[in-house]
Structure 1
Amino acid sequence: MVTNTTVEIVVPENVIGSIYRENGSNLARLRQISKAKVIVHEPHPGATDRKVIISGTPDETQAAQSLLQAFILSGAS
């Protein structure tokens, strides 16, 4: 039996655009490739970062985390 896991990642607001890209295309790809459930929360007023919640099987959450990191790194350059 495979258990689901949930991971919370804090992402700086200034790189959140690299997760969305045009019309949320990177976020859609992240969900499609990893098969994980990914929720990007709206920032709290005055906050400089956002919470990204990833849930699914351990493999799905690991894949989603890796993709998220790749999108952030590609947007930071």
Structure 2
Amino acid sequence: MTASAVPATGMKSARCPRCGKSFDCGRNTEPFDCWCKSLPALPVSELDPRGRCLCPECLAAGAAPAVGAASKGRRAMS
């Protein structure tokens, strides 16, 4: 089951601007409690200047290059 399959209180339905898939977004929950806060932040090059939220799959795919680069940097420093 994906994170988007279990809506939290206050989550609203949204549509991903990249793939068009519908998902549950907690952007406006009080206090902020969305599934996305458990994922790494997107690199600046991946950010949408309009601030629209991505579905779990697109957000994870966008953050993956940054996570890979960070882990390579840690290994090089070791």
TM-score after normalising by structure 1: 0.30
Which has more strand, going by share of residues? 1
Q: Which has the higher contact order (CA 8 A, sep 6+)?
A: 1
Larger radius of gyration: 2
